[in-house]
Amino acid sequence: MDQLSIIVPCYNEEQTVELFYTEVEKMVQYMPDIQTDYLFVDDGSTDRTLEKVKELHVRDKRVKYISFSRNFGKEAAMYAGLEHASGDYVVIMDADLQDPPSLLPEMLRIVREEHFDSVATRRVTRKGEPPIRSFCARQFYHIMNKISDVELMDGARDYRFMKRKYVNAVLSLKESNRFSKGIFGWVGFKTKWLEFENQERAAGETKWSFWKLVQYSLQGIVSFSETPLYIASILGGGMCGVALLAIIFIIVRQLLFGGSAFGWPSMACIVILIGGIQLLSVGILGLYFSKMYLEIKHRPIYIEKEICVDDMYGNENEKSTNINVNL
C-alpha cells in the first residue's frame, strides 16, 4: 500500500496543532487505500507547540516530529520535512488550516489517475488581507513573471502534493537561501493547479509581517532573476552617456558664447542623481554578493534539537540529546 507523508511546518502554533490533526483525520477516511503519517517540524517555537505535537505522538504513533535548535524559517522547516519524509507521496500543509484539508482526496486522485507529478494550490481571492498587502503581493508575482524564466502563479501556496521523484528533484537543490515557490517551478515536471477561496486562520496570529514578506520577495527576485543586475548596468551606461553629452554641451557653449560655466544648482542635481543611481547599483550588487557569501560559507540549512522520525527501514528513530547538523 502506498504511503502519504504530511509535512507540517510549525512556529508558535500551539492553538492549531490539535485542530489541524482533527481536520486532516476527517479527510484521511476518504483515502482508505493509502497509509498516512504526519511529520511536524517545530521551527524553534517559543510556546507549547512541541509539547502539543508530543501529546499527539503518544496517542498516534503515525505522528512524528523534528524540533529545531532555534527559528530557522519556514523554508528550512519545509526542507527538513522533505528530507525526512518517507512516503511515496508527500504533501506540505500549514498548521493554521489556511490550506484546506478537503482538497487531499482530490489531490491523490489527480496524481494517480491523471498522472501528474505534483498538484499545487493557489488562492483566487485574498479576502481578509489588508488591501496594501494584497496589492503588493499581486505586483510581486507580476514583476517576477516579467523578469524571471521561472513562472510563479499569482496566489500560489506552499500547499503542494508531490510524487517521490518530484520530492527528490527539489531536494537535489542544496542552496541555503531557499525560495521554494521558485524551486518548485524550476525543477519542472507535470503540475496541475487547484484553486480555492482564501481561508482565515483557525486560531492564533500570522507570523508573516509586511517587512518579512518584503524580505522574502527580495530573496525570490535575487534567487531567480538576473534582471536587476542588467537594470543597474543599463542605468550606469545611460548616465555615462548623458554625462558625456552634458560635457560636450558645456564645452561647445563655452567656446561659442564665452563666459564662465553657470548653472550650479542644476549641476548639483545631476551629481545627486548620478550618485543615487550609483548607490542603487551598488546596493543591487550587494544583494547578490551577500547571497553568494552566505552560500560559500556552507552553513547548515537547519540544526535539529530533537527528532522522532522513521529510519529507512521503517523503525522509529528518536533523539533528544544530540544536535544534528544538516547541510
Provide mean pLDDT across the span 206-227.
62
| Average pLDDT rounded to a whole number, residues 185-190 | 84
Judge whether residue 313 has pLDDT over 50.
no
Report whether 104 contacts 17 (CB < 8 A). Answer: no
Residue 128: which residues within 8 A CB-CB, separation 6 or more? Answer: 198, 200
Ranges of H-type helices in the chain: 17-28, 49-59, 74-84, 104-113, 131-147, 164-171, 180-186, 210-224, 227-257, 264-296
Segment 129-178, tens digit of pLDDT: 666 766 666 766 666 666 666 677 777 788 999 999 999 999 988 877 78
Give this prediction's pTM. 0.71
How many helices and strands, by DSSP H and E, does the chain display?
A: 10, 10
Given pLDDT bands bounded at 50, 70 and 90, which one contains residue 200?
A: low
Position 173 scores a pLDDT of 86
- Please state, for a pLDDT cut of 70, what percent of the chain lies above it: 67
How far is the C-alpha of 15 from the C-alpha of 246, rounded, in Å? 65
Residue 319 contacts residue 306 (beta carbons within 8 Å): yes
pLDDT, averaged across the chain = 78
CA atoms of 159 and 280, how far apart (whole Å): 36
Q: At what angle do helices 104-113 and 17-28 cross, to 10 degrees?
A: 50
Q: What is the pLDDT of residues 242-255, one digit of tens each?
A: 766 776 776 777 67
Q: Confidence class of residue 5 from pLDDT cuts 50, 70 and 90?
A: very high
**3-state class of 16 per DSSP?**
coil
